[in-house]
Structure 1
Amino acid sequence: MKPSTTQGTQLGYVRVSTGQQDEQLQLDALDKVNVLKRNRYIDKGVSGAKVSRPALDAMLEDAQPGDVITVYKLDRIGRSTAHVASLIADLAERGIFIRSIGDGLDSTTSTGRAMLQMLAIFAEMERDFNRERTIAGLAAAKAQGRVGGRPRVTDSAMNRQAQALRNAGESIPDIAKALGVSIATVYRVTKARARDNRDV
């Protein structure tokens, strides 16, 4: 049964995108809300675009029902609005709470839970917009004479469409179906794009 109140440990997560960036602002914020240093997980020099982040993965594995994950801002834990919403939903299912200091969001409160539900709604809207843009892009390409045979995701515009859908949380098979390419092609294109992404 999922706990309705906090009963566990307060965990903290910190991420900075490059080795030159300073994580002190995030650490100071965790100090102010009494997150113990031994309960902090830090990814340093790790882009938000990366699917796997060692410290985040370790924290998610260690977290138990009743625990509270505290971050400075939600963009520290997610690649996109859709990814953040999906992660929060997964944590809620596990009975784990999340608190974002800078965003003023706290799922241990009824107001915070309502705000996070709104975030999930906006994330779904983002996914819908991405689908619509992809469909419109495919229609435009067809109107310009790119018809016949199996379309290939080789140009930059199609690469961006594939990556946008992936960032919005769409599955690889669904993206392949939408773009009319093989699953292997989508894996190759989105992986290549992910390596090129950098946080600013």
Structure 2
Amino acid sequence: MHEHKRLGRGLELPELAEWLAVGDVGLEFLTGELHGHHDPGGIVFTVLAALSGMEREYIRDKTLDDQESARVRGKNIGGAAVTDPAMLSMAVHLRNQGQSLRDIAA
């Protein structure tokens, strides 16, 4: 693993620890504060699992807060809105012609 901060993103860490233990696989961080080899069933892994979960929640909450703040300021989150059936029909037609969603929204 390159860096411990990436370890838990998108993973269920207890399942990963079990999978690594069954395969008798160790954990090595190539950079960062935890540089070196670690036992995936040990205390370091447990602490990392907790910290990764907390970081994931923080990122999610921050993203949602920022999106709400943008909405309050009148920003459109999520791209162009479809306003009527003709607009939807044209967007589908352009997509079927191979145009990107970004080009269609513009």
Q: Give the TM-score, by structure 2 length.
A: 0.50
Q: 1:87 to 1:145 in 2, by over 3 A?
A: closer
1:107 paired residue number: 39
Richer in strand (by share): 1
- CA-based RMSD of the aligned residues comes to 3.6
Q: Is the 8 A contact 1:105 1:116 kept in 2?
A: no
Q: Does 1:90 pair with 2:15?
A: yes
Residue in 2 that maps onto 1:80: 6
Amino acid across the alignment from 2:39 = S
* Distance change (3 Å), C-alpha of 1:81 and 1:104: same
Q: Give unmatched runs, 5+ long, in structure 1.
A: 1-73, 155-187, 190-200
TM-score after normalising by structure 1: 0.30
Write the distance in 2 (CA, Å) between the matches of 1:101 and 1:138.
Answer: 34
Percent identity of the aligned residues? 19
In the TM superposition, what is the alpha-carbon distance from 1:153 to its structure 2 partner? 4.5
8 Å CA contact 2:27–2:39 kept in 1: the answer is yes
The alignment partner of 1:100 has SS state of: strand
Write the distance in 1 (CA, Å) between the matches of 2:12 and 2:2.
Answer: 12
Q: Which residue matches 1:146?
A: 75
Distance in 1 (CA, whole Å) between partners of 2:37 and 2:13 is 12
Q: Which amino acid is the alignment partner of residue 125 of structure 1? A: M
Shift of 1:117: 0.7
Mapped pair 1:131 → 2:39: no
Distance 1:125 1:90 in 2: 17
Alignment of 1:1-200 (within 5 A): 74-75=1-2, 80-83=6-9, 86=11, 89-94=14-19, 95-96=22-23, 97-100=25-28, 102=30, 103-107=35-39, 113-146=42-75, 151-153=77-79
5+ long unaligned stretches in structure 2: 81-99, 102-106
- Separation in 2 of the partners of 1:113 and 1:105? 11
Deviation string, structure 1 residues 155-182 (Cα, Å, up to 9, x no partner)? xxxxxxxxxxxxxxxxxxxxxxxxxxxx
Structure 2 CA distance for partners of 1:91 and 1:145, relative to 1, 3 Å: closer
Query: In the TM superposition, what is the alpha-carbon distance from 1:87 to its structure 2 partner?
Result: 7.2
Name the structure where helix makes up a greater proportion of residues: 2
